[in-house]
Amino acid sequence: MSKKEFGIFSIPVIVAALGYFVDIYDLLLFTIVREPSLKDLGVVLTDKVQVLAASAKIINWQMVGLLIGGVIWGTIGDKKGRLSVLFGSIALYSVANFVTGYVQTVDQYKWARFVAGIGLAGELGAGITLVSELLPKDKRGVGTSLVAGVGLFGAVFAYFIFKATGDWRLCYKIGGGLGIVLLILRISVAESGMFNAVKQQANVQRGNILAFFTNATRFRKYILAILIGLPTWYVIGVLVNYSNRFAKEMYGDNHIESGRAIMYAYVGIAIGDILIGLVSQYFRSRKKALLCFYLLCIATLFVFFSSYNNSDDRMYLICGLLGFSTGFWAIFITMGAEQFGTNLRATAATTVPNMVRGSLPLINMMFLDLFQKSWGWPLIKSGVITGAIVMVITLVAFYFTEETFHKDLNYVEGELTEQTI
């Protein structure tokens, strides 16, 4: 294994951060250009039912793509190497973004975002895995937080690119171009020494996703690693994404732009993701840092649904605070990577965040289809109950999750038949 020491501002960390920047730009672009793109494709914006159905179809297919892609790229990352994923995934979603710039129907839009979702699924997990394995354990939390913190500003960039151009098709083409530039930058990045060492061991199985489901201990750790990240997409996919609808219910006439609300939320998330790495270092604990942000998230949810949220300025402010309080994306994925050996680490780190992203259709199903359409609950009640369910599940999972701050990552998972379910 290579003895080379990598620092927090080394080339692998910087390139991983830029990769996540492009990833987030592309991932959030639809929510920013949703209304003008749907209007251009013939959706009547005054027909709220039609708009909601079309937007839910597209975002859900993108999330399903992420879910499927997480499995594909995670397996490739452990079998072929972390760099194979970083090159292959970005090539796929760059092409998908160019194609999105030319779609003519909602169904074409849906399929283009599905393919893009598959490509986007590999970016973060492979980057976090690589950085975690290249950096010493006392720096990896700060390194992965830096990757996420810088990367999350991609959503802010997407918002201002659309505001500057006013052309949603051009925004997608720019995303494809950014991907090609990043592909060139990645030529200089080194492969993980831990992976190269394990690759030489012929008797070690790598990238077997079934290993998470055939061993009781691994299955428990894997499910817990997913559940501790659920609040992020409840906040972004429900509260921030539908902030204009919540504003109408709370204080009537408003001029809330969901794209702008997402931009403020992602500024908050980016700052939170950088800060949580430092908080984790201060406490020498991933779990204590995570708990601080969970408590802040719960407090901010109370503010969101309170009478204080009674103007556009306050709604935008609260969206920013909600984003900050869910700025634990980096630590949550780092913990997922730290839970497993080198022969399953990329599979875990790539599938775990995409399982959380893939939970958004289920959260939307509960929030929109069950509570509002089937049970007839008003918007605010549906939002509150959905949030309460998500937070309870997350806190229970957090309680049973192990601390990983001091864990040495240079190991492999044992026999897959041991403690079989």
175 by DSSP, 3-state: which?
Answer: helix
Q: Which amino acid is at 390?
A: V
Superfamily per CATH, domain 11-400:
MFS general substrate transporter like domains (1.20.1250.20)
The amino acid at 326: T
Q: What is the pLDDT of residue 5?
A: 63
DSSP 36-80: HHHHHTT--TT-HHHHHHHHHHHHHHHHHHHHHHHHHHHHHHHHT
Q: Which of 367, 403, 419 is nearest to 137 (CA)?
A: 403
- Write phi, then psi, for 311 (nearest 5 degrees): -155, 165
Per-residue confidence (pLDDT) for residue 238, from 0 to 100: 92
How far apart (Å, rounded) are the C-alpha atoms in residues 206 and 124?
Answer: 19
- Prediction pTM value: 0.83
> What distances in angstroms separate CA 370 from CA 245, 367, 377, 382, 408, one per listed residue?
18, 6, 9, 9, 44
Return the pLDDT at 375.
92
Torsion angle of C-alpha atoms 96, 38, 324, 137, degrees rounded to 10: -10
Q: Per residue of the chain (421 residues), give pLDDT as tens.
A: 344 667 778 888 888 888 889 888 998 899 888 889 999 998 887 777 788 788 888 988 988 898 899 889 988 988 888 888 888 888 899 999 999 999 999 999 999 999 999 998 888 888 888 888 888 877 888 888 888 888 888 888 998 999 999 999 999 999 999 988 888 887 767 676 777 777 777 677 777 888 888 889 999 999 999 999 999 989 998 999 889 989 999 999 999 988 889 889 999 998 998 899 889 989 999 999 999 999 999 999 999 999 999 999 999 999 999 999 999 988 888 898 889 988 888 888 888 988 888 788 889 889 988 898 889 899 999 999 999 999 999 999 999 999 988 888 888 876 543 443 4
The per-residue pLDDT for 249 is 93
What are the residue boundaries of the structural domains of the chain, listed by start?
11-400
pLDDT of residue 54: 87
Q: How many CB atoms lie within 10 A of CB 152?
A: 29
HSE-CB of 60 using CA atoms within 13 angstroms: 14
